[in-house]
Chain A
Amino acid sequence: MAKQQSSETFKLPLESANARQAHGGFRLEVFSRFEAETWVLVAVSIVTAYLVLPPLYSVIQTSLFTTKLTGELDEFTLSYYRDMFRELQVLGPFLNTIYFSVGSALLATLLGGLVAWVVTRTDSPLRGLGYFTAFASFGTPFILYTIGWLLILGKAGPVNTWLRGFFDHGGAAVNVYSMWGMVFVESLLWSPFVFLLLAASFRSMDPSLEEASAVCGARVWQTLRRISLRLMLPAFFSVLLLIFIRAFESFEIPALVGLPGDIRVLTTSILLDAQRMPPTYGRAGAFAVLLMLAVACTLYFYFRITREAARFHTITGKGYRPTLIQLGGWRYVTAGGLLLYSFVILILPFLIVLWASLLPFYIQPSLEALSKFTLKNYVTAIHFPKITDAIKNSVLLGLGSATAVMVLTTLASWILVRTKLRGRWLLDLLTTLPLLFPGIVMGLAIMRFYLLVPIPIYGTLWILLIAFVTRYIPYGIRYTHSGLLQLHRELEEAAYASGASWLNAMRRITMPLLTPSFLGGWVFIFLLSAKELSMSILLVSPQTPVVSVAIYELWENGQVGELAAFGVIWTAILVSIAVAYYLFARRYGIQQH
């Protein structure tokens, strides 16, 4: 490559200025761009492979071998797969899993999508509330959010008390320990993710297509259905796929909400396997491998559909100014809807957590309980050992992993969308796989890897950073991939034609236009990494405490009020950072336009 280029440079002065412009100059640009493409591909592939392959290897190994007590591999076995297939034959858990995952994916997409549309495409009042709600509800520690809902919707909770008084009903009117309870809590948990991703896509919508539709006499909903939603197919696919997978393999909500109501899903037996000594992760590994195969097929077909990337371009050279839809009288309806959304998804669970944090023990909301208010739980929380270190570490890890993941996945998406390199869907697959690794297996894999290879990061923050980056690549790729699909190639072409280098085109054209997706993804990963537990619990050392592990300790041994006080403080810190970053970066991004 270098040789070719130098010969090109060497030839240049010999040719006439005219010829250089028409011929040589153009070829030089082609070469440097091609070179950049190759370098980016090589670098991104190496980094991704380095991060993803060791745990992948470990997951497959776990599913195929029994282990000795020491953790050494023992014998080859297919019994974990047999167990898994046997489990699949019992229809109940399998159907429950399908209901749960499909229900959560649809409800979360509907909720998050509607709010994203109102916030980004209409002139509805209170639009800023959408972003704040997404940040703050996602910043609440997961366990607290769920417990909050159990307390609100539980038998003795305010909702049932109120309904009982209203209908003079004997027993509990609402049973949260049920399938709908699981779907409800899971979709509320994921709707901020949908909101952030779809808001970025809606924001980048090409209004001319919608206008054309309107001119042809289509009604608003027709335009929405036949133009807007179709253009957003990649974004919708991304959120549905991700939430479906996450719900399919999730333990937490099915265990905390479903299990008390005797609802069993596929992961239930895997979860209970962890109670065995020595714990076996074989079935978890087999489950993950089967899911990976299913996801690989899905991605392959998805890739074939979106190969015709031009169909989804909304940002072209023609001008880009998404217009806001004038709602007229409907403004009040949408504003009311936003308030309701914010109330349900954020204020209600947060209030109950705040309420619990101010009481010496949990009392259902009532006036007489006010007299018991105390700040004792906050004092306990502030004096938690190494708490300032833990907060500092968690914030650093959040900033580091969000930034690293978004940079890496922006480059990876660029390769996927812009280049014609064969087999690039494999890169897409590689960046999606970590989603399917069971957290504990991945944590163990990373721990073993860095105990064996001579890279001295065991027991430091770096090993946590590597684990987090690997874990969150799949989220980053979905944000940047659907964002980039909307950008027409011609914008970059124009930059190259004007003599910009690859780096310049990326910096001045692509990145600023990608800002909404990049920011959405960044904030999401920042908030998500603050909650990571299953790997952290194995990888932290006495010198590197993190907040999620501290919260887990309180969850195991602390009273609910102490847990709540800790959660309130932590949510406040996280949300302040997320909002500050978002406001700062958006401003910066807009100035770049």
Chain B
Amino acid sequence: MKSPERQKILIEGAKKEGKVTFYTGLIVDQVVRPLKEGFEKEYPFVQVDFFRGNSENIARRVLTEYQAKRYDVDVVSGSAATSMVQRAGFMQRFYSPHLAEYPAELKDAKGFWGSTNVYFMTLGYDTRSVKPNELPKTYEDLLQPRWRGQMMWSTSRGSGAPQFIGNILLTMGQEAGKAYLQKLKGQNIAKSTASARQILDLVIAGEYPLAVQIFNHHAYISKAAGAPVEWQPLEPVTATINTIGLAKNSPRPHAAMLFLDFLLSKKGQKIVQLSNYLPSHPEMPALQADLKPGGGRFKKANYINPDVLYDQGNDWVDYFQNQFLK
């Protein structure tokens, strides 16, 4: 359908619907609220209602509601949530004219999801105790005796050890990857259920010199506040995609499509950028450009496809449990 016509139909429908319900893993304070404001300014006749939770809780909520035939949600967003809901058969394909502007790794070939923003997982280190000349620059460098017992990572599937393991296995291949991980195991990395953000804070407090698999923008924010911390990419850098999609029985499909269009458009992406998040749109750099690949500090990133994450994630969790847990 041609753009002007499509837009007209959507607006007419959305006027009757009046609101859109958004289940998201994005942080309300930092980015959801600006997006809501931006969207409501553009379409004052639609109000955005949101529920925030982590991927697992969003998926659980949608699945439980759908099982009870309660169709509240229109747009679902999260890293693995959309995949899980889609596998249960509760998502539908959607088309947005903006999707064409995105590279293949940032949208679903089958049309179930697009992407609002991306995350890059790197090392974070204490600049007081890690000297520039000893700073690890490759995955191999982590195996040096200097780092034995000096690293910490999170047990989280989405931003911790299992994801690191996944990235290694996907990029090095099963055999070489497992050989590497066996050596890494000897390094005795401390594990915690704390989130990647809190592990970085423990590094800032001086508890451990190196945090493995933290969000690079967290380190950047803390560094800007004056903290003795810096991030260091190990290539290929693990990249996580924040996906968005349309719920199968979306009760307000017109408003939902307007909202999806808005999130994927440059206007929406600009808000993501201004909120200090890393926009998915290839033409929208990060405010701090070097946080994204090609910004000067790293080139290669491995975007972990949500379907791959869903299908192989359990193997990575198992590998972590069996090999790294005593």
Contacts and interface: CB of A to CB of B under 8 A. Distances in A.
B53 A361 contact: no
A458 B61 CA distance: 12
Interface stretch (A255-263, A301-309, A503-511): A255-263
Contacts of B157: 275-277
Nearest to A263: B326
Nearest to B320: A272
A362 B204 contact: yes
Interface stretch (B44-52, B100-108, B295-303): B44-52
Nearest to A274: B56
Interface in B209-258: 221-222, 225-227, 229
B141 interface: no
A155 B206 contact: yes
A447 B320 CA distance: 32
Interface residues of B, number: 63
A451 interface: yes
Contact of A361 (B57, B191, B204, B313): B204
B178 interface: no
A559 B201 contact: yes
A278 B90 CA distance: 15
A538 B54 CA distance: 10
A448 B70 CA distance: 11
B27 interface: yes
A559 B197 CA distance: 7
B127 to A, nearest CB: 12
Contacts of B313: 276-277
Interface stretch (B6-14, B80-88, B265-273, B283-291): B80-88
A256 B33 CA distance: 31
A360 B225 contact: yes
Contacts of B61: 538
A451 B195 contact: no
Contacts of B325: 262, 264, 268, 272
Contact of A452 (B68, B202, B225): B68
A69 interface: yes
B41 to A, nearest CB: 18
Contact of B193 (A271, A372, A559): A271
Nearest to A67: B63
Given A151-B205, A260-B152, A364-B205, A69 B63 contact: yes
Contacts of A274: 56
A259 B193 contact: yes
Interface in A175-194: 177
A274 B59 CA distance: 13
B204 A70 contact: no
Nearest to B157: A275
Contacts of A448: 64, 67-68
A71 interface: yes
B205 A276 contact: no
B314 interface: yes
Contact of B155 (A150, A272, A363, A458): A272
B64 A71 contact: yes
A555 B29 CA distance: 14
B190 interface: yes
A269 interface: yes
A560 interface: yes
Contacts of B225: 360-361, 559
Interface in B157-202: 157, 162, 190-195, 197-198, 201-202
Given A71-B64, A385-B33, A452-B68, A553 B190 contact: no
Interface in B277-326: 310, 313-314, 317, 320-321, 325-326
Contact of A278 (B49, B59, B206): B59
A277 B222 contact: no
A233 interface: no
Contacts of B65: 451
A438 interface: no
B33 A360 contact: no
B226 A70 contact: no
B60 A444 contact: yes
A268 B206 CA distance: 26
Nearest to A69: B88
Contacts of B321: 269, 272
B28 interface: yes
Contacts of A261: 190
A362 B192 contact: no
B190 A177 contact: yes
B42 interface: no
Contact of B27 (A271, A538, A557): A557
B66 interface: yes
Interface in A448-464: 448, 451-452, 458
B207 interface: yes
Scoring A262, A269, A537, A559 by chain B CB atoms within 10 A of each residue's CB, the highest score goes to A559
A150 B208 CA distance: 12
CB-based closest 4 A-B pairs: A156-B206, A451-B68, A361-B227, A255-B193
Given A69-B87, A275-B317, A278-B59, 20 more contacts: A68-B88, A71-B67, A147-B198, A150-B202, A155-B206, A157-B205, A255-B155, A256-B192, A260-B152, A277-B84, A361-B201, A361-B204, A361-B222, A361-B229, A383-B29, A385-B33, A451-B64, A553-B27, A555-B198, A559-B221
12 contacts: A70-B90, A150-B207, A156-B206, A256-B193, A256-B194, A277-B84, A277-B310, A385-B28, A448-B67, A537-B53, A538-B60, A553-B27
Interface of B: 21, 27-30, 33, 49-54, 56-57, 59-61, 63-68, 70, 80, 84, 87-90, 152, 155-157, 162, 190-195, 197-198, 201-202, 204-207, 221-222, 225-227, 229, 310, 313-314, 317, 320-321, 325-326
